[in-house]
Amino acid sequence: MPSRISGTSIGRSTIARVLKAHGVPPAPKRPTSWQTFLRAHWGAIAGADFLTTEVWTWRGLVTFYTVFVIDLATRRVQVVGTTPHPDEAFMRQVVRTLSMADDNVCRVLICDRDAKWSVAVREWLEEAGIRVVQTPYEAPNANAYAERFVRSMKEECLDRIIPIGEGYFRRAVSEFVAHYHRERNHQGLENALIEGAPVSGAGRVHRQSRLGGLLNFYRRAA
C-alpha cells in the first residue's frame, strides 16, 4: 500500500528507490543506532578502557597501564589490573578477574579498537559469557562513560601529583576510586553518591581529606 504524507500518496517502489539512492537499507537490515543499543542493554552493559600514567621508578620513567571497567547504569568502577607490560599473560588475568567477579559483572562490554583487545582476548571474554562490542573507528564518544572517568581521574588526581614509585601510584589510584564511589557527587546520578548517603541534617560540617588534602569531602560531626 502507498504511504500518505501531507495528503500525497507515495508508492512503495518510490520509497525503496529514495532509500536506495541515499544508501539506507530496508528496515530489517538497517543497523541499530548506538543510542538504541545502549538503551536495550542498560543495566547489563559496561565500558572498559586503559589509563596510562608515567611513574618514576628506580629504573627511570615507566609507563603503567591501568585497565578498568565502569558500569554505565550505576557508574561503579572496578580497577581490573595495573602493569607496565600489558602482554597476553596480563590480559588473560584481566579476563579471569572479570569472569570470576560477582553478580554485578557486565554481560556486555564496550571496548575500543586498541590492539590490547585482540581477537584472542575478545574470544576469551566471549567464552566467559561476556559479549564484546567494539566502538566504531575514531569514535571515542561511543565509550563516553569510560572516557569521562579517565578525564576525572587525571584532572582531579593524577595530573596533580608526581607518582614516585609503583606503590604510591597504586595507592593514589585506590584512594581516588574510593573517593569516586563514596565521597564524590555525580551529576549523571542527579548529584547523588554511588555509595552511601549525602551530607544531611543539622550540625557542624567537617572537611576530610585523602592523599594529603588533594581529595576533599565533607561529613557531619558525630
**What does the pLDDT look like over 127-175, one tens digit per residue?**
999 999 999 888 878 899 999 999 999 999 999 999 999 999 999 999 9
Handedness of CA 206, 161, 171, 87 (dihedral sign): positive
Q: What are the angstrom distances between the C-alpha of 217 and each of 75, 111, 206?
A: 19, 32, 8
Tally of domains within the chain: 2
Residue 222 lies in a domain: no
Q: What is the pLDDT of residue 199?
A: 65
Residue 147 lies in a domain: yes
Of all helices (H) and strands (E), which one includes residue 3?
A: strand 3-5
**Do 50 and 119 have their domain in common?**
yes
**Do 109 and 15 have their domain in common?**
no
Average pLDDT (26-48) is 74
β-pair type (77-83, 60-71): antiparallel
Q: With contact defined as beta carbons under 8 Å apart, do 83 and 90 qualify? A: yes
**Do 71 and 117 have their domain in common?**
yes
Range of the domain at 53: 37-185
Report the predicted TM-score, pTM, of the whole model to 2 decimal places: 0.80
